[in-house]
Amino acid sequence: MAKPKSEDKRNAILAAATQVFAQRGLSAPTAAITTQAGIAEGSLFTYFKTKDELINALYRELKLELADAMLAGFPRKQSVRHRLQHVWNGYVDWGMHHPEGQMVLRQIQVWGGLTEESKAAAGAAFGEFERISEDAVAQRLYRDMPLPFLLGALASLADMTMEFMRRNPEQAAEYRSHGFELFWAGVTRK
C-alpha cells in the first residue's frame, strides 16, 4: 500500500527549490533541492514526476502567493489609480520581503518549460488586475501603447523599486511611492 503524501513534505520541497534556484539557477540538480529539504532524493519524485513538473508547480505556488499579497484588502470600488496603486504596493512589498521568490519567479517566466496549463492556472488569480487594465483602457487613461508593453514597464520598474527598498529599508515606503508615481506618470495621458 502506497504511503500517503505529506503536504508538509511537498511544501518543504517547494521552499527548498526556491532557495536552491535563487542561489544556483533553474539548472541546479534535484539532489541540491532534496539536500536542502532534508529528504531522500527519491522522495522528490514521489511528489513531482519530473524536475519540469516541480518548476511548474513552484511557479503556480509563487504566483498564487504573489496574487494573495497584491489583492489582500483590494479596494474594488475605488478609482483605477487607487486600485493600481494597491496592487503595486502589494507587489513591491511582497518582492521586498521575498527576494528569493521574486528572483525565481523571474527565472521561471523566461524558462522554456513553463506550460500553458501553469500559465493559465497562475493567471486566473489575477482577474482583478486584468479588470483594472480593462477599466483604464475603457476610460482612456493609458497612453496608446500595447498593454503587454505597459505591463512590462510595470514589472521592470517594480523590480528596480524592490531593489532600492531592500537596500534602504528605512526608506522603503518612500521608494515604493516614488516607483508608483513614475509608473503612473509614464503610462497615463496628461
SS3 142: strand
* Higher local confidence (pLDDT), 97 or 126: 97
pLDDT at residue 18, as a whole number: 98
Q: Which three cell numbers stand for residue 144?
A: 496608446
Q: Between vectors from CA 90 to CA 60 and to CA 134, what angle results, nearest 5°?
A: 80
Give the residue-averaged pLDDT of 164-183: 97
The one-letter amino acid at 44: L
SS3 178: helix
Q: Which three cell numbers stand for residue 82?
A: 487607487
pTM for this structure? Answer: 0.90
Report how far apart the first and last C-alpha atoms of the chain are (Å, whole number). 67
Note whether 135 and 78 are within 8 A (CB).
Answer: no
> Above 50 in pLDDT, residue 82?
yes
**Sequence ranges of the domains in the chain:** 1-49, 52-187
* Higher local confidence (pLDDT), 25 or 149: 25
* Higher local confidence (pLDDT), 20 or 155: 20
Report CA-CA distances (Å) from 38 to 29, 86, 124: 15, 38, 33
- Three-class DSSP labels, 52-100: HHHHHHHHHHHHHHHHHHHHCCCCCCCCHHHHHHHHHHHHHHHHHHCHH
Summarised one tens digit per residue, pLDDT across range 109-143 is: 999 999 999 999 888 888 888 889 889 888 999 88
Q: If you ran DSSP here, which 8-state letter would residue 112 be given? A: T
Same fold, 1-49 and 52-187: no
The one-letter amino acid at 160: M
pLDDT at residue 159, as a whole number: 94
Farthest CA pair distance, the chain: 67
1-49: CATH homologous superfamily?
Homeodomain-like (1.10.10.60)
pLDDT at residue 1, as a whole number: 45
52-187: CATH homologous superfamily?
Tetracycline Repressor, domain 2 (1.10.357.10)
